[in-house]
Amino acid sequence: MEINTTVEKIFRLNPYQKRALAKLGLLTAGDLLRHFPTRYGDVAVMKNIGDLTQGETAVIFGKISNLKTSKAFYKKIPMAEAKITDESGNIKAIWFNQPYIAKMFSEGALVRVEGKVSEKKSKLYLSNPKIEKVDKVPIGVGESLFGSAGDEHYLYPVYPESRGISSNWLYHSTQKVLKSGILDNLIDPIPSEILQKYNLPGLKTALVWIHAPKTENDALAARKRFAFEEVFFIQLERQKARRDYEQNPSFKIIPNEADLIKFKSRFSFTPTGAQERALSNVLADFSKSRPMLRLLEGDVGSGKTFVAAAAAYAAVVTRPPSTRGLAQGKQDFGNLQVAYMAPTEILARQHFESFTEYFAHLPINIGLITGSGCLKFPSKTNPKEATKISRGQLLKWVANGEIPILIGTHALIQKTVRFKHLALAVIDEQHRFGVIQRQKLIRKGELAPHLLSMTATPIPRTLALTIFGDLDLTLLDEMPPGRKPIITDLVLQNDRENTYEKIRAEIVAGRQAYVICPRIDEPDPNKLLALQAKSVKAEAQRLKKEIFPEFEIGILHGKLKPTEKEEVMADFKNGKLNILVATSVVEVGVNVPNATVIVIEGAERFGLAQLHQFRGRVQRSNYQAYCYVFTESQKGNAVRRLKALEQAANGFELAEQDLKIRGAGELSGARQWGLSDIAMDALKNLKMVEAARAEAQRIITEDPTLKNFPTLAEKIKQAEAIHLE
């Protein structure tokens, strides 16, 4: 067996298992070794069926019988049923929406079942328990599933499962791989002096310990090692990418001081100290001949757009060096270019509209490119308006430099988009994009463009250090003057009426409100009717009929056509609509200063960072803003998280709390950053993250091409290859 021997060669697999393994991405022996348990249960919760009581979560072992599929009484949800029997008694088990379970086990098979005991009509049953086939039933409570008490390990690893593959199967299969001698040929990619310095186990030991730890400490040490490894590799790759990128020349941009002051005076406000500082950070980077790589991190509403606009101004009034002083084409001034990428069409359009205002006094063309079409400002016939143009035409003008500012969604990074002199790439709401998309954007110029990344995601410092390891950081740590702290209220079921009256008063006073719902309209087939989250469509109807008949109510969600979205947004912006019921599409960036109330339904379904983003939608003016958080959940953790929202003063404080309260992998959006659960968990440990970063920095500085670290070089090359795809 080799590390890349396929699982099909090693095990006899049924079709369910094959599909499940593919879904989990477990194709080879090596994949199995890297599929870590999410936790370690011990067998203390093992119970005799006769001793079960309502409400407890237990593990039982027994024979399965009376397997059948049926339809649930309400809503006809397909389900599987069975009886589990041991010497002390029997209990019924049911699985909603998983009728296939009845087919996966044969009558009389021995099974391990884990789940919560419920009661109905004074009969106990298990609802949607975990089930897996076992070879033998342990005798008596307290004995390990893996043999008698004298066996060498007693922590029971619990793996992430998928339909068709059980944790138990994964355990046994991984043990088979571990015992095959495969470990003897493995090379540890982490240099041994680093392992020693931080007291981390080597690769082989760590693999054994993570899959079958003898003690909790072994498990923790192994997890720490893999977390370190992951963060270290990310750091190494980002640091190297940064070093490589900085080798490229970029456009030097030195704006005329007086012109810049004039441009800034066109805004209706005076920039805050933080905005001025951020801008001078950017301009200092611009004046060097190597590209800027900077992250502008500022809470929602701190005014990042201003900084981006002023930076864009500095770029577009600068001429490329070769043509400086020459009259080029129709434009009688500079033609360095700016690409401005935003994560949604609504946001891209909003930026396009603001930019056409900021730059209206200058003979500068601004383009908008999104999946649903292209615009150019100004139009030939009306210098005050934008006009629709074809994609081909827009791309031509971008390629020949006639459109110096191009704003857009992901459409911006398509291959067909080419610039003549791309000098600055701005990425708004950076956390919505991956590193890959960022790299695609900055590869668009012949010189390396300066990069200004912006984010309001309040992310914990450790996460920022990791995923933005290659960026310099500027904090916008000051809100525009006069902003009142938003009043956040956690509203329980019985206080709705009261809250609606407060909202009515705000709207009557001329303000507007958002109502955020978790769903658009389709019912979730995995949930009973009573458990369904509120939907945009139904809630809008209910509000109109029962609560606010006197107000205009609109809806906004991702399934509307782009033109419909635009219309709704325009109606809300110009006050035709009093209330906008929407999904999380309004999460990022949307700017309607007159909206001062936001209601969030089913709040327990959103991450704290996301809730904070919602809240940012209404903190854009000097009116008092309100955020009403509605929850149906009574669960301790859910309420605790929402309470944190009520109390935290700013996003960064909130992010740290979120990290503390939530378990691994639950941190909102962990997946999109490409981090595993184990690394996310490690982010609770600032020291470890800083150590991984420092080591990576040291290695890249001492040995930029990694010629003394061939295994590391190989790893980095693999990562780079993925980015280049």
Region near Mg ion per CB under 5 A, out of 14-22, 171-179, 567-575, 581-589: 581-589
Q: Phi, psi (5° rounding) for residue 397? A: -70, -30
Handedness of CA 553, 555, 556, 561 (dihedral sign): negative
Give me the amino acid identity at 393.
Q
> What binding mask, one character per residue, do residues 570-599 give for ligand ADP by CB under 6 A, x or -?
---------------------x-x------
The footprint of ligand ADP on residues 360-419 (CB under 6 A) is none
Q: Which is nearer to ligand ADP, 209 or 572 (CB)?
A: 572
Residue 304 binds to ligand ADP (criterion: CB under 6 A)? yes
484 contributes a contact to ligand ADP by CB under 6 A? no
Question: Would you give the binding string for Mg ion spanning residues 2-21, x where CB under 5 A is met?
Answer: --------------------
- Using CB under 5 A, count the residues that bind Mg ion: 1
> In whole angstroms, how close is the CB of 407 to ligand ADP at the nearest point?
14
282 contact, one of ligand ADP, Mg ion, none, CB 5-8 Å limit per kind: none
Beta strands in 442-522 (DSSP E): 450-455, 472-476, 487-491, 512-516
Nearer to Mg ion, 394 or 588 (CB): 588
Cβ partners under 8 Å of residue 574, min gap 6: none
What angle, rounded to 10 degrees, do the helices at 686-702 and 216-246 form?
40
Q: Interface with ligand ADP by CB under 6 A: which range of 36-44, 84-92, 297-305, 361-369?
A: 297-305
Q: How far is the CB of 428 from Mg ion (least distance, A)?
A: 6
Residue 35 touches which of Mg ion, ligand ADP, none (Cβ within 5-8 Å per kind): none
Contact 93, 62 (CB under 8 A): no
Lookup: tokens for 489: 């209220």
Of 306 and 709, nearer to ligand ADP (C-beta) is: 306
Q: Candidates 565-573, 587-595, 638-646, 691-699 — which segment interacts with Mg ion by CB under 5 A?
A: 587-595
Amino acid at 348: A
Concatenating the DSSP letter of every residue in 345-409 gives HHHHHHHHHHHHHHTTTS---EEEEETTEEEEES-SS-TTS-EEE-HHHHHHHHHTTS--EEEES
343 lies in the site for ligand ADP, by CB under 6 A: no
**DSSP code of 484?**
P
The residue within the footprint of ligand ADP, chosen from 144, 272, 453, 474 (CB under 6 A), is: 272
**Which segment (138-146, 217-225, 298-306, 673-681) binds ligand ADP by CB under 6 A?**
298-306
- Least separation in angstroms between CB 529 and Mg ion: 38
Strand partners, 124: 119
Based on CB atoms, which residue is closest to ligand ADP, 232 or 306?
306
Window 495-514: residues binding ligand ADP (CB under 6 A): none
Question: If binding is defined by CB under 6 A, does position 271 make contact with ligand ADP?
Answer: yes
Determine the 3-state secondary structure of 62 from DSSP.
strand
The SS3 of residue 8 is helix
Distance CA 62, CA 88 (A): 10
SS (H, E, C) 187-198: CCCCCHHHHHHC
**Strand segments (E) across 106-190:** 110-120, 123-127, 130-133, 156-158
Among ligand ADP, Mg ion, none, what binds residue 518 when CB lies within 5 to 8 Å by partner kind? none
Are 654 and 604 in contact, with CB atoms under 8 Å apart? no
Minimum distance from residue 630 beta carbon to ligand ADP (Å): 24
Pairing of strands 110-120, 366-370: unpaired
CA torsion through residues 666, 669, 671, 677, sign: negative
Residue 302 interacts with which of ligand ADP, Mg ion, none, CB < 5 to 8 Å by class? ligand ADP
| Nearest CB to ligand ADP, comparing residues 302 and 583 | 302
Residue nearest to Mg ion (CB): 589
Q: Which one among 423, 456, 595, 648 touches ligand ADP, defined by CB under 6 A?
A: 456
Determine, following the binding rule CB under 6 A, whether residue 303 of this chain makes contact with ligand ADP: yes
Per the listing, tokens 């702290």 go with: 485
Question: Nearest to residue 604, comparing CAs of 582, 631, 586, 584?
Answer: 631
3-state secondary structure of 153: coil
C-beta of 236 vs 300, nearer to ligand ADP: 300
CB of 308 vs Mg ion, minimal distance in Å: 9
Task: Report the nearest approach of Mg ion to the CB of residue 112 (Å).
Answer: 51
Judged by beta carbon, residue 565 or residue 620, the one nearer ligand ADP is 620
Residues 6+ apart with CB under 8 A from 66: 81, 82, 83
Q: Where are the alpha helices (DSSP H) in 529-561?
A: 536-542
**How far is 248 from 375, CA to CA, in rounded Å?**
32
The partner in contact with residue 480, picked from Mg ion, ligand ADP, none with C-beta cut-offs of 5 to 8 angstroms by kind, is ligand ADP
Q: Which of 37, 157, 343, 480 binds ligand ADP (CB under 6 A)?
A: 480
- Prior bond of 99 cis (ω within 30°): no
Q: According to CB under 6 A, which residues from 38 to 97 bind ligand ADP?
A: none
DSSP 565-620: HHHHHHHHHTTS-SEEEE-GGGSSS---TTEEEEEETTGGGS-HHHHHHHHHTT-S
Of 355 and 630, the one with the shorter C-beta distance to ligand ADP is 355
- Report if residue 303 touches Mg ion, rule: CB under 5 A: no
Residue 157 binding result from Mg ion, ligand ADP, none, given CB thresholds of 5 to 8 Å by partner type: none
Structure tokens at 82: 């069975």
**Which residue type occupies 146?**
F
**Closest CB to ligand ADP among residues 198, 267:** 267
Pairing of strands 595-600, 512-516: parallel
User: Please, what is the minimum distance in Å from the beta carbon of residue 483 to ligand ADP?
Assistant: 8
Q: Which is nearer to ligand ADP, 316 or 618 (CB)?
A: 618
For residue 185, give the DSSP letter: G
Part of the chain binding ligand ADP (CB under 6 A), chosen from 54-62, 96-104, 269-277, 375-383: 269-277
Q: Establish if 302 lies at the interface with ligand ADP (CB under 6 A).
A: yes
User: For Mg ion, which residue of 367, 408, 518, 589 counts as binding (CB under 5 A)?
Assistant: 589
The binding track of 609-638 with respect to ligand ADP, each residue x by CB under 6 A or -, is: -----------x------------------
Mapped onto helix, strand or coil, the DSSP state of residue 693 is helix
Which DSSP helix (H) or strand (E) runs through 170? Answer: helix 167-178
Whole-number minimum distance, CB 411 to Mg ion, in Å?
19
Nearer to ligand ADP, 297 or 677 (CB): 297
Short-list 288, 210, 220, CA closest to 33: 210
Among residues 157, 301, 445, 518, which is the contact residue for ligand ADP, using CB under 6 A?
Answer: 301
The dihedrals phi and psi of 545, each to the nearest 5 degrees, come to -75, -45
Question: Which residue's CB atom is positioned nearest to ligand ADP?
Answer: 303
Q: Which residue has the tokens 């060096």?
A: 321
- Are 515 and 601 in contact by the 8 Å Cβ rule? The answer is yes
* Distance of closest approach, residue 280 Cβ to ligand ADP, in angstroms: 15
Residue 506, phi-psi category: left (phi > 0), alpha (psi -120 to 50), beta (remainder): alpha
Which chain residues interact with ligand ADP by CB under 6 A?
269, 271-272, 275, 298, 300-306, 456, 480, 591, 593, 620
Which chain residues interact with Mg ion by CB under 5 A?
589
